[in-house]
Amino acid sequence: MSSQFNFKEGVVYANGIELHYVEHGSGPLVLFCHGWPESWYSWRHQLQTVGDAGYRAVALHMRGYGKTTQPEDVEAYTISSLVGDVVGSVVGLGESEAIVVGHDWGGPVAWYSALMRPDVFRAVAVLSVPFNPPFPLPAGIDLNDVMRESAAGRQYYRLFFQEQGVAEADFERDVRKSMLGVLYVFSGDIVRDQIHEIGWDGHFPIDETMTEQFVIPEKLPEWLTEADLDFYVKEHTAAGFSGGFNWYRNIKRLPAHLAPFVGKSLEQPALYLYGEHDLVAGNTPEALHSMQATLPDLRKCLKFEGAGHWLQQERADEVNKELIEFFASLA
């Protein structure tokens, strides 16, 4: 493990795969789920603080990432499989219940884990992606077609990821540029540095690639060190990007997998945190209002002014404070 952190690591066998994890501390289990294109390392600041506060803080390498198994079959990355990984990890770690925390794609995994298995997850905290309750979709409607129509002739990053091999070639051509570019363009720094007025929403010209949209800053954001960037680059150079892209390639399967839970309420205590300049995760006033109406025990919905998508890294101390206060309220 990195000399910068005194964390333990291990492997749990769950849901038919091996999931690598990193942990710190002892006490009630808090399970952290990262998103794209990230790693357990995205939770490095939270692991330290939460573990020191009297919890067993565990950050998973999610399916398809890092040292965790990367199934070749695209359909092995459905939301049901991802939730199964998280549930199985709780059992594999020798626990019976947990608080689940998610960011980016780890957000829906956390939300739906809590929705599907309230017997396992006693509370849920999510960063950057609001709760979208399962909804019935008319037969013949494909969510990718809905996104394509909404894009109105432009490319959209979630659509760009759909064709196998295309996004991989784009991102793996220069992994360092790809990682720095994606971390910068979706951060609050892109507004502070006057590159975008309010943030980037993930749309771009149909005949261009995603990495062509990236602006490489002259110096790293204050929240990202050279050592941090080196970690991400080394990990994605070794593991590639296909696993993460395969999560997006199952968006069209979401309605079918969530259909049994249409109308079911998520009753557990919940916390939601998001950045002012995060335009890719659906943090519209309408979505936030709807979320508050569908989560009966939403303890707090907090916007971080000036922040972007990588909230737990951009505003680590503030996020840690909110998490610890939320966890303490559950006692």
In tens, the pLDDT along 261-308 reads 999 999 999 999 999 999 987 888 888 988 888 999 999 999 999 999
Tell me whether residue 2 is in a domain. Answer: no
Given a cut of 80, is residue 2 above it in pLDDT?
no
**Structure confidence at residue 4 (pLDDT):** 72
Which distant-in-sequence residues (6+ apart) come within 8 Å of 138 by Cβ?
none
Is 268 within the bounds of a domain? yes
What is the reported pLDDT for 137?
81
Asked if pLDDT for residue 138 goes beyond 90, the answer is: no
CATH number at residue 160: 3.40.50.1820
Lowest-confidence segment of 45-54, 84-93, 146-155 by average pLDDT:
146-155
Catalytic residues: 104, 248, 309
Whether residue 35 is predicted with pLDDT greater than 50 in this model: the reply is yes
Q: pLDDT tens digits for 255-274?
A: 999 999 999 999 999 999 99
How far is it, in rounded angstroms, from Cα 129 to Cα 274? 8
In degrees and rounded to multiples of 5, residue 52 shows phi and psi of -70, -20
**Residue 34 is part of which domain span?**
8-329
Ramachandran angles phi, psi of 204, nearest 5°:
-160, 170
pLDDT confidence tier of residue 1, bands split at 50, 70 and 90: very low
Mean local confidence (pLDDT), 153-158: 96
What six digits make up the tokens of 84?
């199964």
Please give the Cα distance from 117 to 83 (Å, whole number): 9
Q: Which residues contact 139 (CB under 8 A, 6 or more apart)?
A: none
State mean pLDDT over 119-125: 98
What was the pLDDT predicted at 107? 98
Q: What is the pLDDT of residue 75?
A: 97
Residue with tokens 């890294």: 313
Strand partners, 121: 98
260 lies in a domain?
yes
CB atoms < 10 A from the CB of 58, how many?
A: 28
* Residue reference for tokens 């573990």: 51
Stretch 68-73: mean pLDDT: 97
- Predicted structure pTM score: 0.96
Cα separation, 268 vs 236, in Å, equals 35
Residue 108 has pLDDT above 60, yes or no: yes
Quote the pLDDT of residue 274: 97
- pLDDT at residue 115 greater than cutoff 70: yes
98 band by pLDDT with thresholds 50, 70 and 90: very high
Q: What is the pLDDT of residue 181?
A: 97
pLDDT at 331: 79
Calpha distance 125→199 (Å, rounded): 24
Q: Looking at the predicted structure, is the pLDDT value of residue 161 above 60?
A: yes
Q: Give a yes or no: residue 3 inside a domain.
A: no
User: Can you tell me the mean pLDDT for 141-145?
Assistant: 90
Specify if 1 maps to a domain: no
The total domain count for the chain is: 1
The gap from C-alpha 27 to its chain's centroid, in whole angstroms, comes to: 24
Q: What is the number of other CB atoms lying within 10 angstroms of the CB of residue 227?
A: 9
What average pLDDT does this structure show over 305-318?
Answer: 98
pLDDT over threshold 70, residue 3: no
- Percentages (nearest 5) of helix, strand, coil residues in the chain: 40, 15, 40
For residue 136, what pLDDT is reported?
84
User: In this predicted model, what pLDDT tens digit does every residue of 167-215 receive, in sequence order?
Assistant: 999 999 999 999 999 999 999 999 999 999 889 999 999 999 999 999 9
